[in-house]
């Protein structure tokens, strides 16, 4: 179970605190078990800070706390604070990354199931698309993406297998494997009934809760070879 430690403290010397954290990260490289950290500054009290430190589990957090570098870092941190820092230890019982939810709805409900009402909910009206097999602007906007999805759905019965998904900032990148059976014309190739496969990745940028921009990278040459569009 993911474990998060919350550290609440006051300091007038945050530049020194920041430098201390950087030194600690360098000294414990390859040894610390932290997976993610975030520091917030209170808008209403500019000397008030909260650190969120994430670990894979409570046990991994304990391994990290037993490092000699961690003890030294804590002593130096206390010296920079106004009073003693307060700690809260949390077992994470629910973890949702809202940008991932939007992206997964786009893949699962719109692209796979053809529910275009979901497209209107997930995609910004001025959506910008970048696709290696299309001319720039071809799939821009909701209408452009709707036409592109319809083209693929009319040509193939297909499925996506998501193999990895990474969310950072306003972007979500999904690595996927795609399998399809050609049932309709595709790029001038008559229906063959062939089973074809390819792998690729998609990065979506989220803005105001909707997908504002997308980049599609996939093994188009392999797909073309399997369909007989180019030599093997």
d(CA 131, CA 28): 41
- Local confidence band at 50 (pLDDT 50, 70, 90 cut-offs): very high
Q: Is residue 195 part of a domain?
A: yes
165 contacts 174 by C-beta, under 8 angstroms: yes
Looking at the structure, tell me whether residues 49 and 159 fall in a common domain. Answer: no
Q: Report CA Rg, the chain.
A: 24
For residue 195, pLDDT beyond 70: yes
**Is residue 96 predicted with pLDDT exceeding 80?**
no
pTM: 0.74
Give residue 76's pLDDT band: very low, low, confident or very high (50, 70, 90). Answer: very high
- Cα-based angle 186, 187, 191 (whole degrees, multiple of 5): 30
pLDDT class of 232 with cuts at 50, 70, 90: low
Q: What is the per-residue pLDDT across 116-142, written as a single tens digit (0 to 9) for each? A: 999 999 999 999 999 988 778 788 999
Provide the pLDDT for residue 148: 94
Total domains in the fold of the chain: 2
The reply to whether 102 and 217 lie within a common domain is yes
Contact 193, 183 (CB under 8 A): yes
- For position 184, which CATH number holds? 3.10.450.50
Structural domain range at position 18: 3-91
Give the angle 120-122-125 at the CA atoms, nearest 5°: 55
CA distance 178 to 172: 18
pLDDT tier at 83, thresholds 50, 70, 90: very high
Tell me which of 75, 91, 107 is where a domain ends: 91
CA quadruple 106, 111, 117, 119: dihedral, nearest 10: 50
d(CA 146, CA 204): 16
- Asked if 80 and 7 sit in the same domain, the reply is yes
């Amino acid at each position: 179970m993911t474990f998060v430690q919350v550290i609440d403290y006051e300091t007038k010397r945050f530049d020194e605190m920041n430098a201390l954290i950087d030194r600690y990260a360098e000294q414990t490289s390859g040894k610390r078990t932290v997976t993610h950290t975030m520091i917030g500054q209170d808008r209403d009290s500019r000397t008030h800070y909260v650190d969120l430190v994430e670990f894979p589990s409570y046990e991994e957090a304990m391994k990290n706390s037993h490092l000699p570098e961690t003890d030294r870092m804590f002593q130096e941190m206390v010296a920079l604070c106004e009073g003693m820092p307060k700690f809260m230890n949390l077992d994470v019982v629910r973890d949702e990354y809202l940008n991932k939810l939007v992206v997964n709805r786009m893949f699962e409900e719109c692209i796979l199931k053809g529910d275009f009402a979901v497209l209107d909910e997930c995609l910004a009206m001025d959506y910008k698309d970048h696709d290696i097999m299309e001319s720039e602007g071809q799939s821009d906007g909701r209408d452009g993406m709707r036409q592109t999805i319809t083209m693929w759905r009319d040509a193939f019965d297909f499925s996506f297998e998501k193999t990895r998904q990474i969310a950072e900032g306003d972007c979500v990148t999904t690595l996927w494997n795609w399998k399809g059976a050609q049932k309709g014309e595709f790029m001038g190739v008559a229906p063959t009934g062939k089973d074809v496969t390819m792998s690729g990745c998609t990065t979506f940028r989220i803005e105001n809760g909707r997908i504002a921009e997308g980049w599609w990278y996939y093994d188009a040459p392999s797909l073309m070879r399997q369909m007989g569009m180019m030599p093997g």
